[in-house]
Structure 1
Amino acid sequence: MSETLLDVKGMNCPLPVLRANRALRTMIPGARLRVLATDRAAVGDFQAFCQETGHALLAWSEEAGIFHFVIRRRPDDMGQAVCPRKDG
């Protein structure tokens, strides 16, 4: 499966995660997004974002001050709130 590349180098928190969220919403379930960022806070931000949203943070690395994140979009049925019906 191919990856979509999102370059958010030079942007600071919370913009890298917000831009990634916007990109992931347009992708099909299971698709991969590679994010390039320079904000050191992005490491914790993307870990928390994926934990909260159900997307999978497959890998992250840092090379020469550029952080690389690979995120797999969650299935459509995850993260949906289900309210039980109250009968009678």
Structure 2
Amino acid sequence: MVEQTTRLQPDTVLDACGLHCPLPLLKAKQALAGLAAGELLEVRATDAGSWRDIEAFAEQSAHHLEAREQRGDIYHYWLRKAEGERS
């Protein structure tokens, strides 16, 4: 999976390491709001709950979770802002 994710070039990287639930998700929502439709956000978090929270958010929103992976103690997520979503 690392090969696949190294090809993803984020427009913005959000470092949410050290933040506890629900802050990684809230910060990701804020960051997505500042992106243009189609742009890619990479989120890095250390909170284990972000694994389910960010996936559930992507399923319930129009945004697309391109990939996610765990590297050591850090969880990485690549979210693409939905087309037609307001910035």
User: Helix, strand or coil: the match of 1:39?
Assistant: coil
Deviation digits for residues 25-83 of structure 1 (CA, Å, limit 9, x no counterpart): 110000000000000110100011111111000000011100000000001259xxxxx
2:22 paired residue number: 14
What residue in structure 1 maps to residue 52 of structure 2? 44
Q: Tell me: higher relative CO, structure 1 or 2? Use CA pairs within 8 A at least 6 residues apart.
A: 2
- The structure that is helix-richer by fraction is 2
| Aligned counterparts, 1:4-83, within 5 A | 4-76=12-84
| Secondary structure of the corresponding residue to residue 51 of structure 1 | helix
Distance 1:45 1:2, change over 3 A: closer
Which is greater in Rg?
A: 1
Q: TM-score, normalised by structure 2?
A: 0.84
Q: Please state whether the residue corresponding to 2:82 is helix, strand or coil.
A: coil
Identity %: 35
Runs of 4+ aligned residues of structure 1 deviating over 4 Å after TM superposition are none
Q: Can you list the C-alpha shifts for 1:3-40, whole angstroms capped at 9, x where unaligned?
A: 20000000011100100101101100000000000001
Size of the alignment, in residue pairs?
78
Q: Which amino acid aligns with 2:80?
A: R
Gaps of 5+ in 1: 79-88
Q: Unaligned regions of 5+ residues in structure 2, if any?
A: 1-8
